[in-house]
A and B are shown apart, each in its own frame.
Chain A
C-alpha cells in the first residue's frame, strides 16, 4: 500500500479507538439494563484527570489510572441517583454531562489561571510497530467483553438483569449489584477513552475536547445491535469518516471545513435512521429495579 493509504488507515484507527473503548463500556452497562447517556461527561472527566496527573507525574500509566478513577466517580454519582434513588436515567445522564462540562472547565481554568504555554502530557506509544497501546487495549477489551457476555455464567446473569430484572431477581441474580458493577465498568471504559484523547490523539486538554464522541459511542451500541464485533465495525466506519474528513480539510477542499466537521454527526443520524429500528434493546433497559424486601 502507498504511504497516503497507510496514513489514512492509521488515522482511522486513531479516531476509532476511543469510540470503541467507550462503546464497549456502554454495551456492558446497557446489557445489564443501565442506560447511562453521560459517557460524554465521563470521557471529559477522564481526559482532564489524565492530563493533570500525566503532566505532574510524567507517567502515562498513572494518568490512565487517574482517568479511570475520575470517570468511575462520575458513574458512581449517576448510580446514586439513577439506580439507588431511581431518578430518571435520561435526566441523570444529562445532568452528568452538564456537571462534567462545568466541573472540568472551571477546574482546568483554576489550575491554569496563570496562563502561559500548557505542558505536554506523556504519550502512550506503540506496543508493536503500528499498534498503539490504546488500540491493543481496545482489542483485548473487545475480546473480553464478547467472551464475558456470550460465554460466562456471570455474563448471562448480567444480561438477565437487563432483560428481565424481576425474573432474574427471583432466580437469585443480584440485579442491583450487577447493575452497579456494570455502571462502574462503563465509567472505567469511558475514562480510558478520555485518556486516549489526551495521551494519544492530542497532548493537552481542551475544554469540551470530547466533542460528541460520547454520544457517537452511545449510537454505536444501538447501530451495532448490542453485538461487540459489529460495534467495533461501526467504530471503524466512524473513524474512517473522521479521518477522510480531516484529509479533505488538509487537502484544501472547496467544501467549507465547518460542513466537513458535520460529517460524523450527520453520518451518525443517518446510520441511526437506517438501523436503529432494527436493533432490539434489552427489554428492561432503563427500567427501575427495586429488590424484593
Chain B
C-alpha cells in the first residue's frame, strides 16, 4: 500500500530517535524505560494529561504549518520562536491596553488579529531584507528571535507590566479577550478548533490553488519559476508573511487561550520544535497534525518525566533534534540543485 509506506519513514525516524535518546539517558545513569513510562503517562495517562497534550499541540501545529510552507518554498524561516513572541506581545498589548474595555465580540478578534499581523510583519522584515538587501533569511530570522525575546522582556518590565508592578508579567487579559474553554473541558480552549481546521485550509491553498503552485514552483527551482513568470522575490516575501502570520496567531492564541497573560519565555522552544514538527511531517500540511501531536506529547510528558524519573525536561530537546536529523538524513531527499 502506497499510503501506508508514506508513514514508514517518519515512524522509523521517531523510533530511532527514541532508541538513541534512551541509550544516551542510560549512559547518564537514568532509567530510560522508567523515563519513557513517565513520559507516556504524563502525555496520555488521564483526561487532564490528554488535554495538556492537545493544548501543547495547538501552537506546534500552527507554527509547524508555517515552517512547512516556507521550507517548501525554499525559504528557511528559523524565526518561528520570535514570531510567536511578537504575536503574543501584540495580542497582549491590544487586549490589556488598546481594547481593554471592549466586549468579547471586538476584543478577542482584535487581539488575535493583532498577533497575526505582528507575526507576519516580524517575518516580513526577513523577507524584505532578503529580497532588498540579499540578507540570508536564516541569519535574519535567528537574529530576530533574540530581538523579539528582548522586546517581550522590555514590555513586561515596562509598558505592559501589571498594574501592581509585583512581577515582570502583564496584567491578566480581560475575560472578553479570552478564548472560551471547550464544553466540559478544563484546559482545552476553542482556539484548538482553528488549529485542526487550518491544516486543511493550508493543504487546499498549497495543492488546489494557483498561489500554492507558484509557491511550490519557487521551492522546486527559482530559475524555472522565473521562466514561468513567477517572481521568486514576491513569493519569498509572501511565504514569510504567511508563515509569520501563522506563528503570530499561535502566540496570540497562547495568551488568549492558555496563559491569560504575557511573561518572558512564554511558549519558549515552540519555534524550534515546530521545525521538527514540519520535517517529521515531510512538509505536508496534513502530516503536521499527527506530527504536532507527537511533539506535544513529548512536551506534555516531559514534566512528569522530570518529576518521577528525575530526567531533566530539556532532555526532550535531544529527542527533537534526533528526529530532525533522522527525518532529513533518511527520509527527506534533498532538493537537487540546478
Please report A residues at the B interface, Cβ cutoff 8 Å: 37, 77, 80-81, 85-88, 90-92, 94-99, 101-103, 105-107, 109-110, 113, 207, 211-212, 215, 218-219, 222, 256, 258-259, 261-262, 265-266, 268-269, 272-274, 276-277, 287-288
Indicate if the CB atoms of A98 and B150 lie closer than 8 Å.
no
CB-defined interface of B150-170 with A at 8 Å, one 1/0 digit per residue? Answer: 110110011000000000000
Return chain A residues, CB-CB under 8 Å to B140: 269, 272
User: If the complex has contacts A110-B28, A258-B154, are A212 and B146 also in contact, measured as CB distance less than 8 A?
Assistant: yes
Indicate if the CB atoms of B154 and A259 lie closer than 8 Å.
yes
Indicate if the CB atoms of B133 and A277 lie closer than 8 Å.
yes
For this complex, 18 residue pairs linking A to B, each with C-beta atoms less than 8 Å apart, are A80-B329, A81-B325, A81-B328, A87-B332, A92-B325, A94-B272, A94-B324, A101-B314, A106-B318, A110-B29, A113-B310, A212-B146, A222-B136, A256-B157, A258-B151, A265-B147, A269-B143, A277-B134
Distance in angstroms between the alpha carbons of A261 and B272 in the assembled complex: 22
**A100 closest partner in B (C-beta):** B321
Whether B138 is near chain A, meaning CB under 8 Å from some CB there, is: yes
Indicate if the CB atoms of A92 and B142 lie closer than 8 Å.
no
Indicate if the CB atoms of B311 and A91 lie closer than 8 Å.
no
Name the one of B135, B318, B329 contacting A99, with C-beta atoms under 8 angstroms.
B318
Interface centre among A215, A269, A274 (most CB of B within 10 A): A269
Name the one of A80, A98, A276 contacting B136, with C-beta atoms under 8 angstroms.
A276
**A89 closest partner in B (C-beta):** B334
Distance in angstroms between the alpha carbons of A262 and B329 in the assembled complex: 35
Indicate if the CB atoms of B325 and A94 lie closer than 8 Å.
no
Indicate if the CB atoms of A98 and B315 lie closer than 8 Å.
no
User: If the complex has contacts A94-B275, A102-B320, are A258 and B334 also in contact, measured as CB distance less than 8 A?
Assistant: no
Indicate if the CB atoms of B321 and A273 lie closer than 8 Å.
no
Whether B7 is near chain A, meaning CB under 8 Å from some CB there, is: no
Indicate if the CB atoms of B315 and A106 lie closer than 8 Å.
yes
Indicate if the CB atoms of B317 and A101 lie closer than 8 Å.
yes
Whether B256 is near chain A, meaning CB under 8 Å from some CB there, is: no
**B320 closest partner in A (C-beta):** A98
Return chain A residues, CB-CB under 8 Å to B76: 90
Indicate if the CB atoms of A87 and B337 lie closer than 8 Å.
no
User: If the complex has contacts A99-B317, A215-B139, are A88 and B328 also in contact, measured as CB distance less than 8 A?
Assistant: yes
Indicate if the CB atoms of A272 and B129 lie closer than 8 Å.
yes
Whether B322 is near chain A, meaning CB under 8 Å from some CB there, is: yes
Listed from nearest, the 5 A-B pairs whose CB atoms lie closest are: A102-B317, A277-B134, A99-B321, A105-B314, A95-B324
Give the dominant DSSP class at B's interface. Answer: helix
**A81 closest partner in B (C-beta):** B329
Return chain A residues, CB-CB under 8 Å to B328: 81, 87-88, 91-92, 95
Closest-CB distance, B162 to chain A (whole angstroms): 17
Name the one of B29, B153, B318, B334 contacting A102, with C-beta atoms under 8 angstroms.
B318
Closest-CB distance, B78 to chain A (whole angstroms): 6
Distance in angstroms between the alpha carbons of A239 and B32 in the assembled complex: 43
Whether B30 is near chain A, meaning CB under 8 Å from some CB there, is: yes
Distance in angstroms between the alpha carbons of A77 and B134 in the assembled complex: 30
Closest-CB distance, A32 to chain B (whole angstroms): 17
CB-defined interface of B227-265 with A at 8 Å, one 1/0 digit per residue? Answer: 000000000000000000000000000000000000000
Closest-CB distance, A76 to chain B (whole angstroms): 13
Distance in angstroms between the alpha carbons of A91 and B331 in the assembled complex: 13
**B159 closest partner in A (C-beta):** A256
Name the one of A87, A90, A109, A287 contacting B138, with C-beta atoms under 8 angstroms.
A90
User: If the complex has contacts A258-B154, A276-B133, A287-B337, are A98 and B312 also in contact, measured as CB distance less than 8 A?
Assistant: no
Whether B217 is near chain A, meaning CB under 8 Å from some CB there, is: no
Indicate if the CB atoms of B147 and A266 lie closer than 8 Å.
yes
User: If the complex has contacts A95-B328, A268-B143, are A103 and B318 also in contact, measured as CB distance less than 8 A?
Assistant: yes
Indicate if the CB atoms of A212 and B143 lie closer than 8 Å.
yes
**A101 closest partner in B (C-beta):** B317
Return chain B residues, CB-CB under 8 Å to A77: 325
User: If the complex has contacts A94-B324, A95-B328, A262-B150, are A109 and B142 also in contact, measured as CB distance less than 8 A?
Assistant: no
Whether B316 is near chain A, meaning CB under 8 Å from some CB there, is: yes
Whether B330 is near chain A, meaning CB under 8 Å from some CB there, is: yes
**B155 closest partner in A (C-beta):** A258
**A86 closest partner in B (C-beta):** B334
Return chain B residues, CB-CB under 8 Å to A81: 325, 328-329
Name the one of A92, A109, A258, A287 contacting B312, with C-beta atoms under 8 angstroms.
A109
Return chain A residues, CB-CB under 8 Å to B332: 87-88
Indicate if the CB atoms of B325 and A256 lie closer than 8 Å.
no
Q: Kindly identify, within residues 102 to 145 of chain B, every residue whose CB is under 8 Å from any CB belonging to chain A.
A: 129, 133-136, 138-140, 142-144
Distance in angstroms between the alpha carbons of A63 and B253 in the assembled complex: 45
Closest-CB distance, A107 to chain B (whole angstroms): 7
Distance in angstroms between the alpha carbons of A188 and B314 in the assembled complex: 25
Interface centre among A81, A87, A90, A102 (most CB of B within 10 A): A102
Closest-CB distance, B230 to chain A (whole angstroms): 22
